[in-house]
Amino acid sequence: MDGKPVHRNANGRTADESILRTQTVFGENLLSNESMFLTETMDPLWNLWRDRRALFTGRPLFVTPPWLHAWKTTLGRDAPLCILLAHETEGLSGFCPLTVRDDVGFFAGDPQVCDYFDVVVAPGGEQAALQAFLQGARLAGIRSLDLFPVRPEATVLTHWVPLCRVAGLPVSVERTDVTVEMPLPRTWDEYLLGLSGKQRHEVRRKMRRLEEAGPVRFRVVTTPTETEETLGDFFRLFQSNRDDKARFLTPSVRAYLESLCRIMSREGMLRLSFLHVNGSAAASALCFDDGRTVFLYNNGYDAAFAQVSVGLMNTVYTIKDAVEQGRTRYEFLRGDENYKFRLGGREVPLYRVTIALDSLSPIA
């Protein structure tokens, strides 16, 4: 995975093979220690993932190389990649993964299967890197950026929007959706105490009802071997109780989810859980774990066990598992379903950012 970046624009034209130094959007001064590359390969991202993993701490799961790889090799197979890379004297310092349609740059990945995005930039180097990204986008023939969804603390909002406004570029920010999350305490008892009295009573009551239905076992799959053995059960449960999920699970989406589970299990980030009742797999939840946060990505259950709330209770068990693993945050991800708030979730707004680049100063 150590290939040299290919310098091309969105139309496939090859740029100068030397390092492309960019102008700032504020004047004639060249960036003193930042170089910009355009690349259509993910090799540099894998190198960054391997050599500077700390850069991804606190960044969206959905812009990590494993996630982008799963998308690009399945649902994004025909989507042209345009990855903007920022370099400093110490090496690669960040990237902005884009795909381009009709001269518009979007985050690489599908918002239907990726909950939110951002750029990845070394702390302290945001301004120089983002300037490089802007000039790189223009070099690639991109006339505007349509970046969504992004969280309030995303670098796109905290640094890129102000940078572009100072530069006089037309920018719009629109609230579009919500994601739901919650901080996790140190113990399960503390979590229960953090719920309202009514919800705490409901969780305990439903746990008792579940245990009264027969032997209960909560199992978490993490390894590649176990993943291969259990994916069939997950997909069966995923589409068994809701027609919309059954329709969503097209062959291409299934291939994407299979690829995602396999690569995340190899990276040690998969937590595929199953709730067994009376020896049968009654519910499943597909979660991912970045070492600090557990993300509830999707789930499903067997309608035959609906009377004991197996779907909800499996989610409760994933929260308990996250607490016991010492994680500090749990994300229910995008959507404002009521159960997320009953279990302690808090709403976080998501935004869409558009930036017009036609007036950007050209590269010298």
Residue 243: per-residue pLDDT: 86
**What six digits make up the tokens of 27?**
């004047």
Whether 16 maps to a domain, the answer reads no
3-state SS, residue 205: helix
Q: Is the Cβ–Cβ distance between 96 and 84 less than 8 Å?
A: yes
Are 210 and 312 contained in the same domain? yes
Is the CB of residue 43 less than 8 Å from the CB of residue 3? yes
> What are the residues whose beta carbons fall under 8 Å from the beta carbon of 164, sequence distance 6 or more?
25, 134, 171, 355
Rounded CA-CA distance 304/149 in Å is 36
Domain count, the chain: 2
**Same domain for 228 and 304?**
yes
Residues 192 and 166 in one domain: no
Average pLDDT over the chain, rounded to whole?
88
Shared domain for 156 and 202, answered yes or no, is no
For the segment 248-265, the average pLDDT, to the nearest whole number, is 97
Q: Is the peptide bond before 149 cis (omega within 30 degrees of 0)?
A: yes
**Judging by DSSP bridges, how do beta strands 120-121 and 144-150 pair with one another?**
unpaired
Same domain, 209 and 274: yes
Residue of 179 and 15 predicted with greater confidence: 179
- With 0-12 / 13-18 / 19 or more C-beta atoms within 10 angstroms meaning exposed / middle / buried, residue 50 is exposed
Looking at residue 362, its pLDDT comes to 53
Looking at residue 246, its pLDDT comes to 86
User: Taking 50 as the threshold, does the pLDDT of residue 14 lie above it?
Assistant: no
Over range 58-81, report the average pLDDT.
96
Instruction: Specify the pLDDT at position 31.
Output: 30
Q: Are residues 171 and 137 in the same domain?
A: yes
Residue 6, pLDDT above cutoff 80: no
Cα–Cα distance for residue pair 154/150, rounded to 1 Å? 6
Mean pLDDT for 198-217 is 95
Pairwise CA distance, residues 268 & 288, whole Å = 9
- Tell me the pLDDT tens digit for each residue of 95-152: 999 999 999 999 999 999 999 999 999 999 999 899 889 988 988 899 999 999 999 9
Same domain? For 145 and 245 the reply is no
CA distances from 58 to 71, 118, 127 (A): 21, 11, 19
Q: What is the DSSP string of 112-168?
A: TT---B--EE-TT-HHHHHHHHHHHHHHTT--EEEEEEE-TT-HIIIIIHHHHHHTT
Question: What is the C-alpha to C-alpha distance for residues 278 and 312, in angstroms, rounded to an integer?
Answer: 18
What H or E segment, with its residue span, contains residue 347?
strand 346-356
Residue 6 is assigned to a structural domain of this protein? no
Q: For residues 327 and 349, what is the distance between their CA atoms, to the nearest angstrom?
A: 23
Which residue range is the domain that position 193 belongs to? 185-327
**Other beta carbons within 10 Å of 61:** 21
Q: Reply yes or no on whether the pLDDT at 25 is more than 70.
A: no
Q: Are residues 46 and 93 in the same domain?
A: yes
Query: Which tokens hold the place of 220?
Result: 């978490």
Q: Measure the CA–CA gap between 345 and 40, rounded to whole angstroms.
A: 38
Q: Does residue 293 sit within a domain?
A: yes
Residue 7 belongs to a domain: no
pLDDT recorded at residue 87: 85
Q: Do 213 and 321 lie in a common domain?
A: yes
Closest CA to 116 of 350, 353, 292, 328: 350
- Report how far residue 23's alpha carbon sits from residue 27's, in angstroms, rounded to the nearest whole number: 7
With tokens 């199953």, the residue in question is 274
Paired strand residues for 178: 349
Q: Which residue has the higher pLDDT, 135 or 201?
A: 201
* Residue 22 placed within a domain: no
Q: Does one domain contain both 225 and 313?
A: yes
For residue 264, give the CATH number of its domain: 3.40.630.30
198 and 160: one domain?
Answer: no
Structure tokens at 29: 């001064």
pLDDT at 9 (0 to 100): 39
Cross-strand pairs, 145: 105, 355
Q: Say if CB 125 and CB 88 are below 8 A apart.
A: yes
Kindly provide the residue ranges of all beta strands, DSSP E only, lying in 151-279, ordered along the sequence.
Answer: 171-183, 216-221, 270-277
CB 32 within 8 A of CB 38: no
H-run or E-run covering 71? helix 65-72
On whether both 196 and 160 belong to a single domain, the answer is no
Task: Name the residue among 303, 268, 274 with its Cα closest to residue 286.
Answer: 274
Task: Find all residues with CB under 8 Å of 214, minimum gap 6, and list them.
Answer: 277, 278
| pLDDT band, residue 40 (cuts 50/70/90) | confident
